[in-house]
Copies of this chain bind each other. A is one copy, B any other.
Amino acid sequence: MTTATATASALVDKLNHYMPLQPAERDALDWLERGRRRFAAHDVIVREGEISDRLYVVRSGWLHASTRLRNGDRQILRLHFPGDLMGTSSIAWGETSATITAVTDCVISDFPRAMLGRLFKTQGRLAAMLYTTFSVESVAMSDRLKSLGRTDAKARIATLLLEVLSRLRVTDPNLTDTFDLHLTQADIGDATGLTKVHVNRTLKELDACGLIERHGRVVTIRDEQAMVELADYKDRYGHVATDWFPPFG
């Protein structure tokens, strides 16, 4: 599924995609992923509001971060893929601000935030790299905000599908247009701010328009260009600038 070797960490894999890492940098990142824990689909890794000073790295599998409203409604805030850093809200408050749930079976590593502090001190270039990936996430979240705030159901779901496609392509360049979305229609609704009923109708409509094709939860993007225009989508994950980083050492 991923191109990771037995020794490389998922974080190294992802960051290396953007910038060749020095051995010392690889070591520092590997260190963050020493402990590994396995979870089954639907398992909850941490729950919103729990005390925690730990961060998590996805080694394999899909997860999502979500929050619940008083009335029981749920909003899925972000999807997590291999190489992603999760639970960063514990950085600021020592308390999680979202529930992290396994979408598929997955393997994750966790480490205390103080370890990140040490890395910031000793690895200036990695710190810049982490800051950059964070800023990528932030812009991607802005895109979702625009999607929820100003577009209709078709465009919201198109945005979701295109973002997943972009992100999967980072670690799997061979991926063309078909992938298993794993999410239920209720999940898609919680991610896009729609009801599961309307998600169903909208998926059918996208299908009828020839934009996508579905077999169970496996989706094929049939007309990516039309989808991109429909959703006003911009790929935030293909490339990032690293030329401004401080030199290594």
Contact = CB atoms under 8 A, between A and B. Distances in A.
A106 B247 CA distance: 35
A80 to B, nearest CB: 13
Contact of A150 (B69, B112, B114, B125): B69
A181 interface: no
A134 B138 contact: yes
A150 B239 CA distance: 32
Interface stretch (A85-93, A167-175, A197-205): A85-93
A149 to B, nearest CB: 3
Interface string A119-141: 01110110110111011111101
Contacts of A137: 138
Interface majority SS on A: helix, strand, loop or mixed? helix
A43 to B, nearest CB: 22
29 contacts: A69-B150, A70-B232, A74-B150, A75-B150, A77-B142, A88-B135, A88-B138, A91-B132, A91-B135, A91-B244, A92-B136, A92-B240, A92-B241, A98-B142, A112-B244, A114-B244, A117-B246, A118-B246, A121-B124, A121-B125, A121-B128, A121-B246, A122-B124, A124-B127, A127-B127, A130-B131, A131-B131, A134-B138, A149-B193
Interface of A: 53, 65, 67, 69-70, 73-75, 77-78, 88-89, 91-94, 97-98, 112-114, 116-118, 120-122, 124-125, 127-128, 130-132, 134-139, 141-142, 144-146, 148-151, 192-193, 229, 232, 234, 236, 239-241, 244-246
